[in-house]
A and B are shown apart, each in its own frame.
Chain A
Amino acid sequence: MAAEALVELENVHFSRGPHLVLAGVDMRIPQGAIVSLMGASGGGKTTMLNLMAGTLAPQSGRIRVAGQDLQALDFEDLYRLRRRMGMLFQHSALFTDFSAFENVAFPLRRHFRLSEGILRKLVLMKLEAVGLRGAAGLMPAELSGGMARRVALARAVVMDPMLIFYDEPFTGLDPISVGIIATLIRRLNDALGATSILVSHDVQETFSIADYGYILAGGKIIAEGSPEVLRASDSELARQFLGGQPDGPVPFHYPARDNYATALMSSAAAGEVI
């Protein structure tokens, strides 16, 4: 953790309506690393990505990206900062009325005035990097889930970002595609000299590429460290999560008002059919 921190979170609180999502999160993400955020579904992982990208604002606390305080930035500066960020969405989020080529070209076309030749070279280079140069002319509907994810990945890195977010990059893919995406994440991160933040609950794949990991539960970080450190963690919650045990600190049963046995008895007495 000697490297300079690209993203820093200080005591971040965030709530959605009455529901407290993050209750005081501190984080320091070093330059050049692949950092994974893990935790149960609905645990605020995607929210954290949105906070770091500035699409959501925390109720309190500070978020700094590349030395800039996101809360202090105005709209224009935030947009300028976002040009140096890329994000791979869970559902790929390709524009359905554009071809794969146009999807990847989209950020370039919107932000720069490039000649068609240079644009073509840049886009095909990124598509080649994800192995889909041959699919440049296909529409999103003609791509398989894994291919769509790869096109979206090419689009996320087409501006050569300093910071790449991955929101559940492995979800809903077959094992081969998962392997391909994982390899690409590592390769692109190193080739671009970028920093990657990976939100996932796929423990094995994530640990195979991540340098450092955080486990979130109940709006707080309960464990952090390199994959080896996390695996050896003595936190029960972390062990339950990493081991995938159905019951533990996160209970299997959603809390009910009364005991199951008494509930059975009372409904039997009332003559109800369950």
Chain B
Amino acid sequence: MAFLDFVPNLGRRVLLTIPNLGAAARFLLRSLVAVINRHFSIQQLLKQVYGFGVRSLLLMMVAAFFTGMVLGFQGYYALVRFGATSALGTLVALSLLRELGPVLTALLFAGRAGSALTAEISSMKATEQLNAMEMMAVNPFAWVVAPRLWAGIIVVPILCAIFDLVGILGGYLISVPVLGVDGGTFWAQMQSNVTFSGDILTGLFKALCFGLVVTWIAAWQGYAAQPTAEGVGNATTRSVVTASLAVLGLDFILTAFLFT
């Protein structure tokens, strides 16, 4: 029976999702446009860039370092069987620049900054702070949502660039001093196979899309949350889960479009 319920449940969920999606899209548009509103403040934007970016920097760097080292190890053991360890630099760099950098940055960002953003906006709603703003004739989209959304769009590509670089460094430190791959070959191979526009910039473009999507989902979940303590908790969980899935799904689509 439980399985038979699945079909109508799925139908209901889809039917509920479509108007929600419409509302979320309108929310995104209103917030993005609010950047020209009188109440949009650069100071608020900087504050959010600080909160999202500077405060996630250490996390990103540690994660990137380990990711790069693991890539170095695994790549080495895969390539050494074919005597192709000279391609290790290429492998590490391309994996990071095209996929792992943007995706891992976005996932970590969703967990670190996205969840905090949802909790912040939903508790602002629960404690009537958004209403209070509205009553003071300050547009909450311009003052609260827009700076956070734009901060996400700005911060994630920057974090991604740093992630890529630190990851490659981690890969280098494992490959060359530890596993004994020739350092010159490592860099030379990497340089001859990585293109600036095709690999580095497209990777960063991916990160930009992810930044937009993650902050959008996080802000929307916060804005649409039930204004209760339980609602805040639920929204935070949903924000991370939805944002992570959205990143992975979008990554597939972007990869199909950008790298073919």
Contact = CB atoms under 8 A, between A and B. Distances in A.
A164 to B, nearest CB: 11
A85 B128 contact: no
Interface string B38-82: 010000000000000000000000000000000000000000000
A185 to B, nearest CB: 17
Interface string A109-134: 01100000000000000000000000
A85 B135 contact: yes
A111 B129 contact: no
Interface of A: 53, 55, 79-80, 82-83, 85-87, 89-91, 93-96, 106-107, 110-111, 155, 159, 165
A83 B138 CA distance: 9
A87 B132 CA distance: 7
B182 interface: no
A93 B137 contact: no
A107 B138 contact: yes
B226 interface: no
A93 B143 CA distance: 16
Interface size class of B (residues with CB under 8 A): 10 to 19
A55 B137 contact: no
Interface in B90-143: 124, 127-129, 131-132, 134-139, 143
A90 B128 contact: yes
Interface of B: 39, 124, 127-129, 131-132, 134-139, 143
Contacts of A159: 136
A69 to B, nearest CB: 18
A96 B129 contact: yes
Contact of A55 (B39, B127, B134, B138): B134
B10 to A, nearest CB: 25
A239 to B, nearest CB: 33
B136 to A, nearest CB: 4
B128 A110 contact: no
B135 A55 contact: yes
B127 A87 contact: no
B46 to A, nearest CB: 14
A93 B136 contact: no
Nearest to B134: A55
B128 A82 contact: no
Nearest to B47: A97
A55 B124 CA distance: 17
A93 B138 contact: no
A91 B128 contact: yes
Most buried by A among B131, B136, B138: B136
A87 B130 CA distance: 13
22 contacts: A55-B131, A55-B134, A79-B137, A80-B137, A82-B135, A83-B136, A83-B137, A86-B135, A89-B128, A89-B132, A91-B127, A93-B127, A93-B132, A96-B124, A96-B129, A106-B138, A107-B137, A107-B138, A110-B137, A110-B143, A111-B137, A111-B138
